[in-house]
Every structure is written in structure tokens, then in C-alpha cells.
Structure 1
Amino acid sequence: MTEAERPSAIGQALLAISDKWTLLILQRAFLLRMRRFADWRDELGMSESVLASRLKELVAGELLRPAPYREQGRTRTEYRLTERAIELWPMLVEIWSWERRWVPLRQGLPELTHDVCGNRTEVELGCAGCRRAPVAAHDTETVRGAALFAQVTVPRHHRRIMREAETDPLSYFPETFDLLGDRWSTVILVAAFFGTRRFADFRSELGVAPSVLANRLRQFTTLGVLAVEEPGYRLTAKGLDLFGIFACVVDWAQRWYTGPPATDLRVTHRACGQPFRPCLRCGSCGQALSRTEVHFVVPEGRLPSPRRRITASAPS
């Protein structure tokens, strides 16, 4: 692939993580320290062929690294999170936080505990530069290159998966996967955040098929993240509240990927005039959250298995 053919940094990031199974594999690696093929297969109910495919892609994308281990006299392979993957933890926490605020029937979600203050807490999105919080979408200004979405239209690797209702309190809700667990869904929402409103503009910018675009826009209005408003669509309060997730993805993408010219993206925090770097803060004590200083607690009786220790710390 030549320099001009490579997607933007944001595009590469979305192609790497905008998939239901990929998100669940990474989430279980964080929460349950999963490393082994059989554990993911049994935990998530995945077919072995699908799991093998996703693990191969995660290794190729430098999100997991294979490591040999010995068991019963045989050498086997486990998969550990790389530093690139570990730095996705704010995005996973932001997804949890958005679900708590907006997804119906959200009882049984894990509770986040901040070990520094000892409180079960909510999360606030703040600016790492000036330390102000909370920061919402309207507190920032975005300038993007004309070719930001170029090459995001590479052929899809996976068939879109329709999900049944999720009962495992550790898994994301079906509504969340409708928004974030599919490449086209995520790209369309990102475009909406960057000011795209009309059907024709979504088509021309993204290169998305009309039938796919119509399906996603209809789905988003049903879910209440978009509303129909002349001259097209606007993000609702529920949709705008996805900003924390996308801010974390953008920040992560720009630190780990590089794109060709005209695919740059600048997000500025209006209050301080600095490039916006997201920082998660404890809603109880106001301190910045560190990955190693928080952990999740599942309500009594809701643990899928008594053997699990739920933690937000990633394995080394």
C-alpha cells in the first residue's frame, strides 16, 4: 500500500477496532486478564474460526502479542495486550460510562471504584492541558483535512453480526454494538460529529452504499442518537454524549498511527486554546484517573463466574 492509499490515522484506528468481537476480546483481556484461546472461546461463545481470525488480526495490528507458555509438557501460545492496546483503556471506560447514562435496562453494570479515594464513582471527561472538567463536544472546535475519510472504504473483512439481547453484565449492550461494533456505523457517527448532515454528503465523503447508509441512519434515529432536521440529520443529546468515546479514539489514533497528507485532524479545547487531550477524572474526588488506580466491581449475584477477579488493570 502506497502512502496515498493508506487511510488517515483515524481511519486506521476505526478499521482496527470497529468490530463487535474485537471489542469484546480486548475488553475481556482488560477486565478478566484473559490471554488464552480457550478462555475467550468459552467466555464469549465464539466459534473457533472467528476467534482465530480476530486474534490473527489483533496480532497483525499490534494490539496483541503472542507469547509461548508451557502446559502439561506442551508449548502453547497465549496473547498479551501490547502498549498500543493498553492505551485504549479510556475508550473502554467511556463506553461503560455512556451506557450507564443512556442505555435502558442497564441494571447490573459493573461499578467503577477509584482506589485513591475509595469511592464508587462516575467518570468526567476533562482536558489534560488545562485540567478543566467536564468537557463536552460543544466545548471543542475541530478542523479536519479534506481527505480524512479517504480509503476507509476498503472491503469489509467481516459479515455484520446481528445480536440477540445481552444478559452478561460484563458485555456491552446490543444498542452499543449497533453504534460502535460495526465499521460503517462508527464512521458515519464520526462524520456526523465533524459536521456532515445531509444524506448526499455522507455518501460522497464516505463512499458508503446508499442502502447501507439508509439502514444506519434509520437505525440511529430509532436509537435516538440522530434526529431528522433540515437539511438532514443532527446529533441529539444522546448522540453528542458519545463525544467522550470518540475523543479517546481520536487521541489514541493520532498517537499510534500516521496518515497521508490532507488527512490530519485538529481538535482544540476552546477554553484554553490548546489541542484537546482527553483526561478521565473521578466524579467523586476530581482527580485524574489512572488505569492502575481503578477497578470494576460487579454487583452481588451478577458475577458470571465466582472465579473471576474484575480489574481495570491490563496484564503485562
Structure 2
Amino acid sequence: MTGGPNAVARMLGTLGDEWTLLIVQQALLGATRYGDFTDALPVSHSVLSARLRSLVDEDLLTRREYQTRPSRAEYPVTPRSRSLWPMLTSIWEWERTWVTEHVTPLPAMRHASCGADFSPTLTCRACDTQSTEKDVVAQWGPSGSWARSTPSTTHRRRSGERRLGAGALFPQTMSVIGDRWGFALLVAAFVGIDRFTDLQTELGAPPGTIAHRLATFTAEGILHSTGGRYRLTEKGRAFFPVLVCALEWAQRWYPDPEGPAVLLTHRGCGRRFHPALVCDQCCVRLRGSRIMTA
């Protein structure tokens, strides 16, 4: 079916939730059974049960019964969830570096191949050159538009959940990914749309919605306002690896028959930009299986 939600909207509809990314992260770290998740996360039984069902439906986890009396199941990861590691690694690095509100600081990441604590460096897969948002040109692809990139719904936050539950670990990331307008607004900022009226026109969101998201991003230091324009701060620009890794995952797993939603081109080599993460200590391209917490 053409004309419906594109890969970006489907990705946000799946991952735009306080708990989903954390459950997947724990699964990638080895959690498979219900008790593993409750031991690792401050999640209620009802929320965990609901998220596990949705993750199985979305092919991010597999349900495998290992005991029949009583019935007990484990939830191993799938290729779809394993390939989320670049996005999760980029989120961890951004929150660890830029978000000061964590009650307990997030630990560093260690690269098993070289044994060093590291920070991931974004590069162009085609030419292996370190890349920032200034090095990449974005344009809509055949299935791309603001309207088609916004999911109709995301999981509804309950009062206090963002700060007391999963959001306590990824608080500011979830103000972007966990909000159907927040992600679109930040992408718009990256492509240079910086005035309130232009954001409202391009995104098609109500004025109050745009005003609230701009106020949130300004308060969190992701955007700053000057002369009626909302520009990315250094902290906001540092979110770029999360965006491109999320986009790469979305377009791999939710291909549209019309073609990609977004086309990225690397200025340096002129080829399509596909992100790759390398260790800043040994300069070797990272693999998810070789990353651990320090």
C-alpha cells in the first residue's frame, strides 16, 4: 500500500516509547526471561507484559516456551533487534555526555577488541571519513514527507513515568524519540527550518504543539532561541548520530515499495551516506557484540 506511514513513522511508532528501547537493550545484554527484565528495570508487571507482547508482534523479540507446567517463556532477540545496537550505542553516549540529570551517572562503554573505554565516532560507511551533520545532505525520497513521517499514535505516558521509570535512564532522548512531533521538529532543525511559523507550516502541527516542543528542547539545551529563530546547540548537533542510526534501521526493516523516505548524501565522497560507528581509541569499526559497559 502506497501513501501510508513511511519507514520513519513506523520506526517512531515502534520505538517511541519509554520502555521499549530499554527492554531491547536489556535483551541485547543477555536478558531473556521475565525475571531478568524485572530484576534489571523498574517496570511494572502490566507494562512489561504489554511491551513483551508488542515486541514479539514487531519481530524485535521471539517468544519461546521453555516450561509448560506452569507455562513460562523466554524472549531471545531477533536480527531486527540486534541491528538496533548502533542507535542504542549512540543514545547511551549522548545521554552519558550531555545529560546531567541522571541520578546515577551512566557507565562508560568498553570496546572488547582493544580493551579501552571509548566513545563511538560516526563515519561514512562508503569512505570511512568521520562525519557530522554538516557533512551530510538530506532530501526526501519517493516515500518521504513530513505528514507520512509522523506516526498517528505512540504509547501514552502516564504521569511521572518519564522521570521515575524508563525515562530516568534516557530522559532527554525520550523527549525526542518518545514524542511523535518532537522527532519531526528536531529533524526539521537539522535541515535548517528554524522559525516558528515555518515549523508549523512544514510539520502541519497545531501551534500549541510546536510551542510546547520548542520550549522543551530549549529548556533541555538542545535548541537555543535568538531573534525569533531556533537553532541547534552543540548538544543538539551531537544528537545527529542517533538520528541517522535510527533512520538507517528504519529504512532497512520497513522498506517502502515506493522507495526510501529520506535520501542522505555524503558531501565528502558524493555517495549515499550510510552510518558506521568506530572506536575512537583503536579506530576499528564497532560491532555490537564487542561493546560492553565498563
TM value normalised by structure 1 = 0.82
Structure 2 Cα separation of the partners of residues 228 and 132 of structure 1: 32
- Output the amino acid matched with 1:96: W
Other-structure match for 1:104:
100
Residue pair 1:148, 1:262 contacting (<8 A) in 2 also: no
Matched pairs, number: 291
Determine the structure 1 residue equivalent to 2:205. 208
- Compute the displacement of 1:262 (Å): 7.9
Q: Which residue of 85, 93, 98 corresponds with 1:89?
A: 85
Measure the CA separation in 2 of the matches of 1:56 and 1:183: 22
Aligned residue identity for 1:136? T
The range that moved more, 249-258 or 83-92, is: 249-258
Deviation at 1:175, TM superposition (A): 2.8
Q: Secondary structure of 2:146's partner?
A: coil
Q: Any idea what SS the aligned residue of 1:109 has?
A: coil
**Who is 1:160 aligned against?**
157
Structure 2 CA distance for partners of 1:212 and 1:40, relative to 1, 3 Å:
farther
The correspondence for 1:59, drawn from 56, 60, 71, is 56
Q: 1:24 aligns with which of 22, 28, 33?
A: 22
Indicate yes or no: 2:187 matched with 1:187: no
Alpha-carbon shift at residue 265 of structure 1 (Å): 1.2
2:6 partner letter: S
Amino acid at match of 2:11: A
Is 1:70 aligned with 2:67? yes
- 1:184 to partner: Cα distance: 2.6
In structure 2, what residue type is equivalent to 1:186?
F
Partner of 1:39: 36
Cα separation, 2, equivalents of 1:167 and 1:47: 9
Taking structure 2 as the reference length, the TM-score comes to: 0.88
Within the alignment, does 1:278 sit opposite 2:275 as a pair?
yes
Deviations 1:254-283 (A, max 9, x none): 111123648631111111111111111111
Structure-1 residue corresponding to 2:8? 10
2:172 alignment partner, one of 148, 170, 175 = 175
Q: Name which of 218, 229, 232 aligns with 2:215.
A: 218
CA shift for structure 1 position 145: 4.0
By how many angstroms is 1:128 displaced?
Answer: 1.2
Alpha-carbon deviation of 1:46?
2.2
Any unmatched runs of 5+ in structure 1?
298-316
Separation in 2 of the partners of 1:194 and 1:68? 47
Report how far residue 102 of structure 1 moved: 1.1
What is the RMSD of the two structures over their aligned residues, measured on CA atoms?
A: 2.6
Task: Please give the alpha-carbon distance, in whole angstroms, between the structure 2 residues aligned to 1:39 and 1:117.
Answer: 29
Letter in 2 for 1:132: T
1:203 CA drift (Å): 2.8
1:246 Cα deviation (Å)?
0.6
Deviating more after overlay: 256-265 vs 86-95: 256-265
1:259 and 2:256 are equivalent in the alignment: yes
Structure 1, 159-168 or 216-225: larger mean CA deviation: 159-168
**2:16/2:174 contact within 8 Å kept:** no
Cα deviation 1:42-66 (Å, max 9, x = unaligned): 5323233322222222222221121
Distance, in Å, in 1 between the alignment partners of 2:293 and 2:236 is 25
Which range is displaced more, 231-240 or 265-274? 231-240
Assess if the C-alpha contact under 8 Å between 1:24 and 1:171 holds in 2: no
Shift of 1:228: 1.6
Q: Residues 215-235 of structure 1, C-alpha deviation per residue, up to 9 Å, x if partnerless?
A: 111010111111123453121
Q: Percent identity?
A: 38
2: distance between equivalents of 1:36 and 1:81?
11
Name the SS of the counterpart of 1:77 in structure 2. Answer: strand
